[in-house]
Chain A
Amino acid sequence: MIYIYFLAAIAVVVVAERVPSVGAKRALYAALGAALLLAPLVDRNDSDYNVLADAGVFVLLALGLNIVVGFAGLLDLGYAAFFAIGAYTYGMLASPQFGIHLPFWVLLFVAAALAALFGIILGAPTLRLHGDYLAIVTLGFGEIVPQIFQNLTAYTGGPNGISALDFPSFFGHSFGQRALPYYYVTLALIALGLALARNLRESRLGRAWMAIREDELAARHMGINTTLVKLSAFALGASFSGLGGVVFAAKLSLVSPDLFQFQVSVLIVSMLVLGGMGNIPGVVVGSLVLTLVNSVVLPQANALASAVGLHVDFSSYHFFIYGAILVGIMLFKPEGLLPSVQRREELRHATAPQDVRA
């Protein structure tokens, strides 16, 4: 059953991005949206929404990281740090830890703002750096942030983290242990994230990001204040992750430092690479495919294996899958599985004979 959601969503996006008519495309997306909203009328299996809400959080993270990596071309290898900041915001301000119990909805805003602030603070030192050095510095921050959360035991519960986080409530109705409310929250956040990401791409700021991605020095000659523009990418990208962190923490009712390791950052980068960096539908598909593999296919493969008496733990092949995606895509399809129509067209053109005087 759970497969249907993922495969349907992936299929709709892939088809919608390839149909020539704008009307048909809109209709397909509207149908998908309606189906996702109404699905709980038919499917009452809460564990499906558990998986889907997690998937939704990753779609949100991928959309956010896409702003930084896909649009602005800043390879951020420490993105999980902002996820951690969002999650710990909820963990510390909606739990018995300090006896503070701020509402979930307020903390969404607080976490988005805090993550954005940290996006700026951690982004600032990287402003003068290019490409690979920037990547390694962000990686360094990505290692330091969870380590600090782990070390400041008095505030963060140390390696065990903080548990028994508050259940969010909606007009007095507690979410309780159910996953369904989180499913709706992530749907709403994804809708918001998609709208914002699309708006940004078609804007002065979005063009400035892409100009920096293509040639930072030339971008400066266009009057682009690269400092501000890059920081805005870090801030906006991080804020998505902050939102995701709050939802993730609330749903798990737990935060701990080991949830935000380097692997998480690479997982999200893999989603972008798989789908096609910079292309919003591609990124959504990339994150859906990878969460499907991670949280559905591998566990089921395990079950299957043990059913036939094999002792293979497929879930210990996560690294291998991310690695294979990164290597395979970079070598054989660097534009990702679902590049924009325009990019696909232009890559085809690129093989046509060119005037090469220089």
Chain B
Amino acid sequence: MHEFLAQLINGISLGSIYALIALGYTMVYGIIGLINFAHGDVYTLGSFFSLAILGLLGATGELHGPALVIDAGLALFGAALLCGIAGVLIERLAYRRLRNAPRLAPLITAIGVSFILENAMQVWKGPSPVPFPAILPNPAVTVAGVAISLQQFVVVGLAIATMLALQLFVHGTRVGRAMRATAQDRDAAQLMGIDINKTIAITFLIGSALAGVAGFVSGVYYQSTWFFNGFGAGLKAFTAAVLGGIGNLAGAMLGGFLIGIVESFATWLLGGQWSNVAVFAILILALVFRPSGLLGETLPEKV
């Protein structure tokens, strides 16, 4: 039972990272129908940027008091901002021209962008995993006999706060409404005077910034990062987005937590070497049997 709860908490922590990444996938797919294959690498980029910023600040170990708040805050916001800019650049340089191309062209391009980013990060920090400073103090709280670390609190807390902010933004602001309108019907939105290019750019900005937050969070959580992390994490987050019904923000978060929990339990029950098999099996099952999400419904193509 303790082990069960511990794994559940593990899964939720893991899942909150996937959920943050999944939001970017679902927003971009919702608005331009593209599986932004490079999104996972933007997430890794987030870890690398946080790492670089912490390095600049000289934060190599546990931080306390104001230093903790300032350094961690700078790393977090810096990573989010830089990733957001990276996302906008990627959209502008690689995807925009292909907006009306056959559907596979942008996907192939996105895979290309992913490889370029991975290679850049590999050159930047080398081919092996890189340690990430353990900036958080590590007192664990014991709840019902299960130890929960401060990292886990911070990870889940930050993720939930970010998601709430996103919901408020999408539903409460003009830009958010423009995003939703564009996702629903691009032509109609354009007729109503919405600047499509700007709206899509903002979508990439926000989605990529969220990946940046996830990158920071995962660095803090795992205390390590690797240029190739984004490949697996990206696929899992994409699975989460599909499970939640692509285009659906709340669904993506839910899917993220679900995938995190599945991975954590698969690791526990089947062993680490099978956890990826389990998650990819879910990816396949979800895409094959519930392509419109756990709750969605499919209508036949209009002819």
Contact = CB atoms under 8 A, between A and B. Distances in A.
Contacts of B288: 125-126, 128-129, 137
A330 B123 CA distance: 25
Interface string A307-330: 000000000111110111111101
A50 interface: no
Chain B contact residues: helix, strand, loop or mixed: helix
B287 A129 contact: yes
Interface string B262-294: 000000000001101100110110011001000
Contact of B112 (A126, A136, A148, A326): A326
A132 B104 contact: yes
Nearest to B246: A133
Nearest to B106: A330
B231 A262 contact: yes
Contact of B284 (A140, A322, A324): A140
B273 A151 contact: yes
A144 interface: yes
Interface in A123-156: 125-126, 128-133, 135-137, 139-141, 143-144, 147-148, 150-151
Contact of B116 (A130, A137, A150, A324): A324
B274 A151 contact: yes
A135 B104 contact: yes
A140 to B, nearest CB: 4
Interface residues of B, number: 42
Nearest to A133: B287
Interface in A276-325: 316-320, 322-325
A330 B108 contact: yes
A273 B108 contact: yes
A319 B35 contact: no
A16 interface: no
A319 B284 contact: no
B165 interface: no
A135 B287 CA distance: 11
B287 A137 contact: yes
Contacts of B118: 319, 323
A182 to B, nearest CB: 29
B277 A147 contact: yes
Contact of B35 (A136, A266, A316): A136
Contacts of A316: 119, 122-123, 127
B101 interface: yes
A193 interface: no
Nearest to B121: A319
B114 interface: yes
A327 B113 contact: yes
B303 interface: yes
B174 interface: no
Interface size class of A (residues with CB under 8 A): 35 or more
B122 A319 contact: yes
A130 B117 CA distance: 27
B301 A217 contact: yes
A319 B280 contact: no
A195 interface: no
Contacts of A331: 94, 97-98, 109
A319 B277 CA distance: 24
Interface in A146-183: 147-148, 150-151
A320 B98 CA distance: 21
Contact of A327 (B94, B104, B119, B273): B94
A144 B277 contact: yes
Interface in B98-144: 98, 101, 103-109, 111-120, 122-123, 127
Given A137-B287, A143-B280, A322 B112 contact: yes
A317 B127 CA distance: 11
Contacts of B283: 136-137, 140
B240 interface: no
For A75, A136, A137, A316, the residue with the greatest tally of chain B CB atoms inside 10 Å of its CB is A136
B107 A323 contact: no
A24 to B, nearest CB: 34
A131 B104 contact: yes
A136 B34 CA distance: 12
B31 to A, nearest CB: 15
B206 interface: no
A137 B284 contact: yes
A92 to B, nearest CB: 20
Contact of A330 (B98, B122, B231, B281): B98
B280 A133 contact: no
B160 to A, nearest CB: 28
Nearest to B90: A327
B26 to A, nearest CB: 14
B109 A326 contact: yes
Nearest to B300: A217
B235 interface: yes
A29 B284 CA distance: 43
Nearest to A74: B104
For A147, A320, A328, A330, the residue with the greatest tally of chain B CB atoms inside 10 Å of its CB is A330
Interface of A: 73, 75, 77, 125-126, 128-133, 135-137, 139-141, 143-144, 147-148, 150-151, 217, 262, 266, 269, 273, 316-320, 322-328, 330-331, 334
9 contacts: A140-B281, A143-B280, A273-B108, A316-B119, A319-B115, A320-B119, A326-B108, A326-B115, A330-B108
